[in-house]
Amino acid sequence: QVQLVESGGGLVQAGGSLRLSCLASGSYFSINTMSWYHHAPGKERDLVASITKSGSTNYPDSMEDRFTISRDSADGVYLQMDSLKPEDTGVYYCNAHVAPYSDLREYQYWGQGTQVTVSS
């Protein structure tokens, strides 16, 4: 079983910064793509950024250049959030495509989410 644990959320004023972390633990063969999703109140969960095991990143066209995703060799994924705006408020979820076994069949796992609140 794989666990994804997020941390780093909190309350910040507009224009401030936060760095979210997501650490994977448990038993698995490999983790490929890891992503961050944003769930704003009353809206759908949207992709913020993703990064492959080799370090290739993807940001939706709608994203401004305020967030940066990164990853370390220990399967931790991070989201640096700068110039935060009130509309960035919501729960941020970590997502991972995990291959539990050497056959490389992948399954999606989600973390429990971390709350980010940006005050105006």
Q: Which value, to the nearest 10 degrees, does the dihedral of the CA atoms of residues 117, 24, 100, 56 take?
A: 70
pLDDT at 63 over 80: no
- At residue 91, the pLDDT reads 98
pLDDT-based confidence at residue 1 (cuts at 50, 70, 90): confident
**Percent residues over pLDDT 70 in the chain:** 100
